[in-house]
């Protein structure tokens, strides 16, 4: 279990891929700077504009696996070929200080975290419709049909986990989604 009762507000944001979570999370981080952000470790390469220690701690596979062995992570997951994990210690320190905290992790990771950290609020971001989801998963339209079908299958599988989450936000309009997030914070004083 993660130590320390909840003193701040801890929000865990998860979504099936294609729900448009990254745009929403970027927006929330900008709009609610009082929330500290749980910086995950990942083995994937940084994308343009991503900074080590800000968006992620970018680590090698060897480093990740030895940290995982050592119990460094509160939860971890393998998302197509890459590892992602939430470092336990910084989160515990921030919680102990009563800091509000935001997590952006995948659905399987959120369900794992809930086992050791039930005090957090688990928020599930939903795509507005199946059509939009499929359109987003098709991306630039350059991927093979079987790849798209697999992504869709995955997303539908993740959607089935929605019932395990405390709140659901439909990510249709970015402004509205941010407003919903705001009212969720208002309803849950730390
Ligand atoms: P991306 O590579 O696009 O930044 O992230 C891919 C997926 O990994 C997203 O769904 C993101 O929320 C998830 N993710 C990022 N960090 C973590 C983590 O520490 N643990 C888990 N389980 N998933 C993570």
User: pLDDT by residue (tens digit) across 110-126?
Assistant: 999 999 999 999 999 99
Task: Copy the structure tokens of residue 158.
Answer: 């993740």
What pLDDT band is residue 4 in, cutting at 50, 70 and 90? low
How close is the Cα of 174 to the center of ligand 1, in Å? 20
How close is the Cα of 105 to the center of ligand 1, in Å? 5
Q: pLDDT digit string (tens) for 132-151? A: 999 989 887 888 999 899 98
What pLDDT band is residue 6 in, cutting at 50, 70 and 90? low
Judged by average pLDDT, the poorest of 3-7, 91-95, 155-159 is 3-7
CB-CB contact of 75 with 90 (8 Å): no
How close is the Cα of 133 to the center of ligand 1, in Å? 18
Q: What is the pLDDT of residue 22?
A: 87
Percent of residues in the chain assigned helix, strand, coil, to nearest 5: 45, 20, 35
What pLDDT band is residue 188 in, cutting at 50, 70 and 90? confident
The pTM of the full predicted model, rounded to 2 decimals, is: 0.92
Could you give the strand order of the β-sheet that contains 36-37, starting from the edge strand earlier in sequence? 36-37, 101-104, 10-14, 121-126, 167-170
Q: Is the CB of 44 under 6 A from ligand 1?
A: yes
* Model confidence at 3: pLDDT above 80: no
User: What residue owns the CA closest to ligand 1's atom 15?
Assistant: 105
* Dihedral Cα 182, 109, 79, 140, nearest 10 deg: -20
Q: What is the pLDDT of residue 141?
A: 82
């Amino acid at each position: 279990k993660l130590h320390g009762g909840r003193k701040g507000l801890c929000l865990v944001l998860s979504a099936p891929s294609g729900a448009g979570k990254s745009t929403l999370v970027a927006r929330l981080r900008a709009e609610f700077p009082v929330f500290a952000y749980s910086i995950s470790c990942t083995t994937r390469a940084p994308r343009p504009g991503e900074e080590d220690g800000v968006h992620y701690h970018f680590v090698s596979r060897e480093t990740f696996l030895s940290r995982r062995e050592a119990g460094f992570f509160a939860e971890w997951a393998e998302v197509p070929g890459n590892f992602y994990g939430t470092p336990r210690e910084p989160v515990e320190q921030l919680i102990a200080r009563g800091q509000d905290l935001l997590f952006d992790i995948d659905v399987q990771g959120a369900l794992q975290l809930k086992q050791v950290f039930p005090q957090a609020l688990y928020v599930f971001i939903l795509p507005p419709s199946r059509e939009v989801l499929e359109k987003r998963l098709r991306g630039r339209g350059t991927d093979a049909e079987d790849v798209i079908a697999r992504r869709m299958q995955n997303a539908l599988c993740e959607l089935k986990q929605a019932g395990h989450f405390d709140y659901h936000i439909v990510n249709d309009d970015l402004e509205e989604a941010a407003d919903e997030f705001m009212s969720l914070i208002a309803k849950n004083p730390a």
